[in-house]
DNA sequence: GGCATTTATTCCTTTACGTCA
DNA sequence: GCTGACGTAAAGGAATAAATG
């Protein structure tokens, strides 16, 4: 630890202070050539073998201790820069993810609204919903009905359903079991549940959350009743 | 082989000097 | 010339592993 008998004589504290001040007074920055050589070696190996340290010190006209300290400080500086780079990359990835999340959330909300409209129209007696039920349930088994308006209802409702399926890449599926449409979507059965899921997602994506959240906090969020990435999985 | 001690090395933090705006 | 910010050489100290008795 202590080199060349640095603190070897006199009162310990006084010796430390005087010796240290004397040493630091003589502190000189390394020359450009010395720095260049050190940098070159550091690029290939961040830690020096003792033998190589002696050789390098001799070559540069420095004390081996100085070379060791330079490498030590260089490793610290490199690590600090690396941390900055890593943080920058993580932040960029995080921002990308956040914007994708926002887009997906909007898409989902649009689909939920579309679904509500479809359900509402099907539940109204004597309107399009009833026509659809007759078309899909009755007309298919009996071949035809004496109702001349069946083709009109079909063209109005079915395109909406197919657009829902298409927009969800085949993940969303509608069935007409019972009196209303049930959704096999995100692993839930009713759109009320679907709507409930929107709320926590909203709070997570508020401006304060995005600004005050670092990546660790994001991945450690356990305050909500579900994980936000489960939202669309 | 297990142990205590010594030695060497690393990392982290702090100190103090040099430089520059 | 003074001052504050910043970069950096160097020291202090804790932790760790290898060597030694």
Q: Residue A188: beta bridge partners?
A: A185
Distance CA A207, CA A205 (A): 6
Residues 167-186 of A with CB under 7 A from strand C: none
Distance CA A71, CA A77 (A): 10
**Which stretches of A45-63 are DSSP H helices?**
50-60
Dump pLDDT digits (tens) for A48-59: 888 888 888 888
Dump pLDDT digits (tens) for A78-126: 888 888 888 888 889 999 999 999 999 999 999 999 999 999 998 876 6
The integer distance in angstroms from the CA atom of A73 to the C1' atom of B20 is: 22
Distance CA A70, CA A42 (A): 10
Which parts of chain A have pLDDT scores under 70?
A: 1-27, 125-233
The reported pLDDT for the residue numbered A114 is 95
Classified as helix, coil or strand, A174 is strand
The reported pLDDT for the residue numbered A117 is 93
Classified as helix, coil or strand, A118 is helix
Residues 31-70 of A with CB under 7 A from strand C: 35, 65-66, 69-70
Q: Which two tokens stand for residue A118?
A: 């479809």
E strand or H helix at A145, and its extent?
none
Q: Which two tokens stand for residue A154?
A: 């079909």
Q: How far is CA A98 from the centre of its chain?
A: 7
A13 touches strand C (CB under 7 A): no
A20 touches strand C (CB under 7 A): yes
A24 touches strand B (CB under 7 A): yes
* pTM recorded for the entire structure: 0.52
Distance CA A150, CA A135 (A): 6
CA distances from A18 to A21, A66, A153 (A): 5, 20, 98
């Amino acid at each position: 630890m202590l080199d060349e008998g640095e603190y070897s004589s006199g009162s310990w504290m006084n010796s430390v202070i005087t010796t240290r001040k004397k040493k630091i007074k003589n502190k000189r920055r390394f020359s450009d050539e010395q720095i260049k050589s050190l940098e070159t070696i550091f690029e290939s190996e961040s830690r020096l073998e003792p033998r190589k340290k002696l050789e390098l010190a001799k070559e540069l006209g420095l004390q081996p201790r100085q070379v060791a300290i330079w490498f030590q400080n260089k490793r610290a500086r490199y690590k600090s820069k690396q941390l900055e780079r890593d943080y920058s990359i993580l932040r960029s990835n995080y921002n990308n993810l956040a914007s994708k999340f926002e887009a997906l959330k909007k898409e989902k909300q649009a689909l939920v609204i579309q679904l509500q409209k479809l359900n509402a129209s099907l539940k109204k007696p004597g309107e399009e919903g009833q026509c659809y039920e007759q078309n899909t349930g009755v007309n298919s088994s009996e071949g035809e009905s004496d109702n001349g308006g069946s083709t009109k209802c079909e063209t109005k409702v079915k395109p909406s359903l197919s657009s829902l399926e298409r927009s969800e890449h085949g993940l969303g599926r509608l069935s007409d079991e019972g009196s209303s449409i049930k959704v096999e979507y995100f692993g839930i059965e009713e759109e009320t549940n679907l709507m409930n899921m929107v709320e926590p997602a909203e709070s997570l994506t508020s401006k304060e959350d995005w600004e005050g959240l670092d990546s660790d906090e994001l991945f450690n969020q356990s305050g909500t009743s579900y994980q936000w990435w489960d939202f669309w999985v």
